[in-house]
């Protein structure tokens, strides 16, 4: 019996135009895959956070709260660009000047807070404020403001500042009012990008 010749199902010649068409189809498929991958890894619509927080309900991006006018030691340092205060506390702190201020504690007793300032001799601007307790009667040096017996008796920082500033604090919007007005749409709010 004679061997049958192997039959090649497709023995037609492929033209250059057909090869180029197939390559174009493969390239198109690859481009569709790349587009899908780029869309998946593309930055989200909120690439720059608006910075809305309990400290600044309007958002730090478009409505930044003011910086502290100087460094404040009370007893821990609060720096102009790095602090843990909300908008109301920053505005109140910026109104504070060196001096001696009576503050009523939560138990009804009154303590005198000494605020010492360090001024720049050339610009005459305050560079830092330091809060301390009353001076020691023997040495005249300032005593610590917070100690083990009184540290739990102090009102909130904004409460102390409002007592210390008196009428000067009347023009500063409270944090609760700022939050309420922001939610009501009466104040501008930052949006993300």
Question: Which pLDDT score, from 0 to 100, does residue 2 have?
Answer: 55
Q: Given this model, what pLDDT does residue 62 score?
A: 87
| pLDDT band at 4; cut points 50, 70, 90 | low
Output the pLDDT for position 129.
95
- What is the average pLDDT across 133-156? 90
Residues 156-160 have a mean pLDDT of 94
Give the angle 58-60-65 at the CA atoms, nearest 5°: 80
Other beta carbons within 10 Å of 192: 15
Q: What is the mean pLDDT of the chain?
A: 88
Q: What percent of the chain has pLDDT over 70?
A: 90
Helix (H, G, I), strand (E, B), or coil: what is residue 130?
strand
Q: Between 46 and 134, name the one with better pLDDT.
A: 134
Q: Which helix (H) or strand (E) holds 108?
A: none
pLDDT band of residue 166 (cuts 50, 70, 90) is very high
C-alpha 174 chain-centroid distance: 19
Q: What is the pLDDT of residues 25-63, one digit of tens each?
A: 999 999 998 988 888 887 666 566 788 889 999 988 889
pLDDT of residue 11: 59
Instruction: Give domain limits for the chain.
Output: 71-183
Report whether pLDDT(93) > 90: yes
**Looking at the predicted structure, is the pLDDT value of residue 5 above 60?**
no
Nearest to 119 by CA among 110, 111, 127, 108: 127
Taking alpha carbons only, the member of 86, 12, 89, 27 closest to residue 56 is 86
Output the pLDDT for position 41: 80
Residue 116 to residue 118: CA distance in whole angstroms: 7
Confidence of residue 186 (pLDDT cuts 50, 70, 90): very high
- Confidence band for 81, pLDDT divided at 50, 70 and 90: confident
**Confidence tier at 174 by pLDDT (50, 70, 90):** very high
């Amino acid at each position: 019996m004679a061997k049958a010749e192997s039959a090649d199902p497709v023995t037609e010649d492929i033209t250059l135009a057909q090869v180029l068409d197939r390559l174009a189809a493969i390239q198109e498929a690859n481009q569709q895959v790349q587009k899908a991958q780029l869309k998946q890894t593309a930055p989200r619509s909120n690439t720059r956070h608006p910075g809305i927080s309990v400290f600044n309900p309007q958002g730090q991006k478009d409505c930044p709260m003011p910086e502290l006018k100087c460094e404040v030691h009370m007893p821990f340092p609060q720096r102009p660009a790095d602090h843990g205060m909300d908008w109301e506390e920053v505005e109140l702190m910026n109104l504070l000047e060196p001096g001696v201020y009576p503050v009523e504690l939560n138990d009804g007793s009154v303590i005198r807070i000494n605020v010492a300032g360090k001024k720049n001799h050339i610009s005459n601007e305050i560079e830092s404020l330091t809060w301390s307790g009353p001076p020691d009667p023997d040495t005249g040096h300032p005593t610590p403001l917070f100690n083990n017996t009184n540290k739990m008796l102090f009102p909130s920082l904004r409460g102390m500042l409002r007592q210390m500033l008196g009428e000067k604090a009347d023009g500063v919007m409270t944090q609760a009012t700022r939050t309420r007005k922001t939610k009501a749409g009466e104040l501008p709010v930052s949006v993300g990008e």
